């Protein structure tokens, strides 16, 4: 599985409560070794900033966000 796909799946799983925090801790440690999460999407900047702050606070992992260019 591609690294980007793994990171996306990790982010989705991280946003939902899990009955087993030990698994979350293992995923977070593995993601920290990769260094950054690359997120592709179309969300508004203010929404992304809230997500980014919450994610970084919980995991300590930075997010690079890529959005498609807007067309007129």
What pLDDT digit, counting tens, does each position of 56-68 carry? 888 888 988 888 8
Give the count of domains, the chain: 1
Helix (H) or strand (E) holding 57: helix 45-59
Residue 71 lies in a domain: no
Residue 52 lies in a domain: yes
Residue 17 lies in a domain: yes
The pLDDT assigned to 43 comes to 84
What pTM, to 2 d.p., does this model score?
0.58
For the chain, 72 residues long, the average pLDDT of each consecutive 10-residue run is: 71 64 74 86 86 88 84 56
- The answer to whether 36 and 61 are in contact (CB under 8 A) is yes
The pLDDT assigned to 41 comes to 86
Please compute Rg for the chain using Cα positions.
13
Residue 72 lies in a domain: no
The pLDDT assigned to 72 comes to 55
The pLDDT assigned to 70 comes to 63
Nearest to 62 by CA among 21, 31, 16: 31
């Amino acid at each position: 599985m591609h690294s980007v796909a793994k990171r996306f799946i990790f982010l989705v799983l991280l946003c939902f409560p899990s009955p087993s925090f030990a698994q979350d801790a293992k995923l977070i440690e593995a993601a920290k070794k990769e260094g950054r999460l690359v997120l592709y999407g179309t969300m508004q900047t203010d929404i992304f900033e809230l997500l980014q702050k919450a994610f970084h606070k919980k995991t300590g992992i930075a997010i690079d966000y890529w959005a498609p260019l807007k067309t007129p």
